[in-house]
A and B are shown apart, each in its own frame.
Chain A
């Protein structure tokens, strides 16, 4: 992976909060940590190309597949690459599974057709997300956690070279979440796919061994290892576990 795989500078009004963030992704797994309503989801949506910032620039430095555009958003130069051409996958908070397709239909919706050994590839993803037993079910028959895992599988199957996760593990049992997170991390690192995850759950961050971007009042106030950036939260978490 290159030293920087994504450089982001965004300014945007979110009602009472003025979003003014600037950061770059350098680690295989980065977590954007902020309280609810701080604009985390908006940042992810702008990176994915689902929203336009009032002002800003999103760039993917060289080193990525040539098919992907380098400048994704640049308000000064009026550049805005549409979401479907960014090569960025987003697993949103609401899974939005296509209700007319079964689980397997959802997962293989945009599976890369040229990919060799497609079936084995899909089986690997089904196993990773723990959804093999759900393959013939319809989305309406799934629980919230199951639907989230299917949404994650659907994004993994569709390729992409950057994965954005918007609190996709909310509602999952802690043990299952740990297992999936661990395997997901190995899977993505082996394929050189960096992750930007949004969460307000401290335990998830330590499970993923992630670099942390701490966001407060619409700004990035710290970037670094979780142990340093979230030292206070870590102490509180340890104290809670020891009780």
Chain B
């Protein structure tokens, strides 16, 4: 078992999930406020990684972060090193690749909440931001849980983007999915089996969490009010 790869994978997935949720929450809220061409365009862009081969995303990011583009040159000048083949580069790639897994469940969750709840909060004097944190977000807890788990698991299982953008540098960019690939290449099926089992268990536990920890409001348990 490659403990270094396990730690790197968990660190990458955790950081990606945390950063992505910070961006995905306001973005998903903005998308659901009303229908418009701009919102449709943003949603289509966000969903691109769902249909694009990961190698295509990896390729474009590799070129984009490299010395051939002005953005790549600016990043290299600012950071002192190119983004490609580094943990930061892997993180940027993971964020882009997992974007739809964070945004889509949230958009679906926010859309499922009837407008009457936010209207009720507004006519009680709550500002749109308070309304979001007090009403919309708590009511979309199930969607938030799904977005968190799916983003985390999707990042854990990433292969194409990681290989294209990060290469296979032990301790820096070698994640568990790359380690399995290496182990199979080396004919170490026992090790590959153990690593695969870890990923299988992680995925199963995550999905179990989505389907069993759905918040219920029908239990008659008064929730603590932080008013």
Contacts and interface: CB of A to CB of B under 8 A. Distances in A.
Interface of A: 48-50, 82-84, 87-90, 92, 94, 96-105, 108-111, 136-141, 151, 154-155, 158-160
A136 B119 CA distance: 24
Contact of A50 (B123, B139, B141, B222): B123
Nearest to A87: B125
Contact of B125 (A96, A141, A160): A160
B24 to A, nearest CB: 21
Nearest to B221: A138
B52 interface: no
Contacts of B220: 136-138, 141
B227 interface: yes
Contact of B217 (A87, A88, A140): A140
24 contacts: A50-B123, A83-B119, A84-B125, A84-B126, A84-B128, A89-B124, A92-B116, A98-B121, A98-B135, A100-B138, A100-B141, A100-B215, A103-B222, A104-B225, A109-B227, A110-B121, A110-B125, A137-B222, A138-B218, A138-B219, A139-B217, A141-B220, A154-B120, A155-B123
Q: Which of A50, A83, A136, A160 has the most CB of B within 10 A?
A: A83
B217 A92 contact: no
Given A92-B116, A99-B217, A154 B223 contact: no
Nearest to A137: B220
Given A96-B117, A100-B215, A105 B227 contact: yes
A136 B221 CA distance: 8
